[in-house]
Amino acid sequence: MAATLIDGKAIAREIREGLKARCAALAARGVTPGLAVVLVGEDAASQIYVRNKERACKATGIRSVAVRLPADTTQEALEDKIRALNDDATVDGILVQLPLPAGLDERRVLALIRPEKDVDGFHVQSMGALVTGAAGFLSCTPKGCLELIRRTGVPLAGKEAVVVGRSNIVGKPMALLLLRENATVTVCHSRTADLAAHTRRADILVAAVGRPGMITGDMIKPGAVVIDVGINRLEDGRVVGDVDFASAEPVAGFLTPVPGGVGPMTIAMLLENTLESAEKRA
Ligand code: NDP
């Protein structure tokens, strides 16, 4: 039987409708949530991502503060800008679009963002909160993936979860979130010996690598929940995930499409984190 597709676009739309209502309730109390999006340089993909985030903010009732800085911005000038946004009481969330141009120290910039405004969840304090179980913002993509898994109704406790990829923004926080949900978690990466032996055991499989179609149907346990985080643009312009959809669909129990799976959830979670920050301010 073909996998049930997890419609991230529809789920994100539903979540955003709920956020819109919460934003309106805040506005009635005189508070407009504000998200500052900092973009340094002219990277084409980053410009598209930033524009999409600004549009999503507007549609939800969140004020978006666009901070566009030239590619030759110095570390000092960027840090001054972050400090100013930290001190701006009308800004509830600060997002620095990555990657930064070469020569700028990403770690130092992210570390400057006040954790209460770290709606991307990349600050070491937010990551530490996830590790220790303390309160803090969860990074948006893994948070969105968890919500998609929850919506399948498949309980996570006691399940074998395998995450392929160990980046700080997706793989590692995803693994920690699944662990928090009492799954038994394996993290695979580029040095993993016999990747398929691990993925075939997975009741929940999350692919976050950036290699088109690398997870094929024969690597998937029949009936598994498969979450495809990958976004890969092929030479012919098509965008595909890390999971080979054609061979995975007949095997998986649930599967996210690309596009239309995890991507829309990432933005919805960013809006949700910003709104939560504003609600705390209110
Ligand atoms: P990174 O490049 O930072 O990390 C990729 C990970 O994949 C690394 O941990 C790497 O291992 C691992 N890897 C590479 N090759 C293999 C292999 N052959 N077998 C197993 N593991 C391998 O990528 P990101 O985590 O930032 O992103 C992953 C994908 O998700 C990308 O396609 C990106 O575009 C997409 N993405 C999508 C988002 C969305 O909203 N849908 C948001 C963020 C990312 P090692 O650590 O050993 O190098």
In three-state secondary structure terms, 162 is strand
Q: How far apart are CA 169 and CA 233, in angstroms?
A: 20
> What angle separates helix 8-28 from helix 140-152, to the nearest 10 degrees?
110
Q: How far apart are CA 49 and CA 145, in angstroms?
A: 19
Question: What is the model's pLDDT at position 237?
Answer: 94
Q: Judging by DSSP bridges, how do beta strands 225-228 and 232-233 pair with one another?
A: unpaired
Radius of gyration of the chain (CA): 19
User: Model pTM?
Assistant: 0.97
* Residues tagged active-site: 53, 97, 120
Identify the bridge partners of residue 4 per DSSP, sorted by sequence position.
254
165 in a labelled binding site: yes
Query: Atom 15 in ligand 1: which residue has the minimum CA distance?
Result: 190
Q: Do 59 and 273 meet the contact criterion of CB atoms below 8 Å apart? A: no
Residue 250: other Cβ atoms inside 10 A:
12
204 in a labelled binding site: no
pLDDT band at 165 (very low <50, low <70, confident <90, very high): very high
Q: Judging by DSSP bridges, how do beta strands 34-40 and 63-69 pair with one another?
A: parallel
- In short, whether 184's Cβ falls inside 6 Å of ligand 1 is no
Which tens digit of pLDDT belongs to each residue from 36-83? Answer: 999 999 999 899 999 999 999 999 999 999 999 999 999 999 999 999
Query: Atom 6 in ligand 1: which residue has the minimum CA distance?
Result: 165
Query: Atom 3 in ligand 1: which residue has the minimum CA distance?
Result: 167
Question: What is the model's pLDDT at position 32?
Answer: 97
Which tens digit of pLDDT belongs to each residue from 133-144? Answer: 999 999 999 999
